[in-house]
Amino acid sequence: MKRNILLLILGLVFLNPYFCPAPAGASESIQEIRFITENSPPFNYIEDDKIKGIFVEVLMAVSRQMESPLGWDRISVMPRDKGYQSLSAGGKKCLFGTARTKERETLFKWAGPVVLNRILLISKAGSDIHINALARIRSLKTGVVTDDIAEKILLEADLPPESLSRAFGSHAALDLIQDLDRGMIDAWAQGDLAARWLIKKNARAPRDFKTLYVLKEEQMYFAFSNDVSNGFISVFQRALDRVKKKGDVKRILKTYLSEDIGAF
């Protein structure tokens, strides 16, 4: 009788789609990892002295899935360059959300992807501008946030310096939206998730804008230092996969971004 009860319990455990035994090499717990991010809304940012954002909420959901919920004090916010230096130095760390590129592939260990981030060239919906090649952008006045990835992409395309209108400061992207409204620039270069967050935050409608051109697409990941065990990466990845399968990531995106996510 006892044997039958034990078999029944074991059967229920292993039939559970969310059961995930830790591999033998998973020597760390999630509480031992130091998580690092930058101030980059809507992925991660500080508001009212509290860190929030898409990746922050995904991380918290993953930690709950691993049955070891993280506290807010486990996350450090620092400038991007300092974060990469800290991650490269080891010490069982994770930098998120990080674009997984060919250059970084062997520098870190990866869990993801979490979201796809497209770097877009955006115009007003009623614009008669049409772009089918990067070279056509040369004739436009394009607004960029200083030191943003969109600026870097356009500079690498060898555009004339006078074709870029740079904005900087905490309200840089909002300034560019206003410049677009006033006709001071023809296009606004921005990641699509950040653009949708800004549009929602400023009570604008996505239908008022359109995508002219996709400058780049990049998958965003959790990047771990190389001294984190492969076993832990495997456990974290499986927990992230379950969070995505349950629809938690889509729910988080809708919380932060415009409801009309397909408007672009």
pTM of the model: 0.85
pLDDT of 186 above 90? yes
pLDDT of 26 above 80? no
Residues 6+ positions from 224 with CB-CB distance below 8 Å: 33, 87, 93, 94, 108, 109, 110, 111, 232, 233, 236
111: which strand partners?
Answer: 222
pLDDT of 158 above 90? no
Mean pLDDT computed over 14-33? 61
The two domains 26-116+219-263 and 118-217 share their CATH topology (first three levels equal)? yes
- Identify the CATH homologous superfamily for domain 26-116+219-263: Periplasmic binding protein-like II (3.40.190.10)
Q: Tell me, what's the pLDDT at 25?
A: 47
CA distances, 258 to each of 19, 48, 196, 206, 230 (Å): 34, 22, 6, 7, 37
220: which strand partners?
Answer: 99, 115
No. of helices (H) and no. of strands (E), the chain: 8, 10
Percent of the chain at pLDDT > 90 equals 67
Q: Which residue has the tokens 């994770």?
A: 94
Cis bond leading into 23, ω under 30°?
no
Q: Tell me, what's the pLDDT at 260?
A: 59
Going from N- to C-terminal start, the domains of the chain cover 26-116+219-263, 118-217
Q: Tell me, what's the pLDDT at 112?
A: 98
**Looking at per-residue confidence, does 207 or 143 come out higher?**
143
Q: Tell me, what's the pLDDT at 264?
A: 55
**CATH placement of domain 118-217:** 3.40.190.10
pLDDT digits (tens, 9 = 90+) for 35-63: 999 999 999 999 988 999 999 999 999 99
Q: Tell me, what's the pLDDT at 12?
A: 42
pLDDT band at 4 (very low <50, low <70, confident <90, very high): very low
Q: Phi-psi region for residue 91, left (φ > 0), alpha (ψ -120 to 50) or beta?
A: left
DSSP characters over 79-130? -HHHHHHHHHT-SSEEEEEEE--TTTTTTSEEEEEEEEEEEEEEEETT----
Mean pLDDT computed over 221-238? 97
pLDDT of 19 above 70? no
Mean pLDDT computed over 58-72? 96
- The rounded distance, in Å, linking the Cα atoms of 11 and 6 is 9
pLDDT of 121 above 60? yes
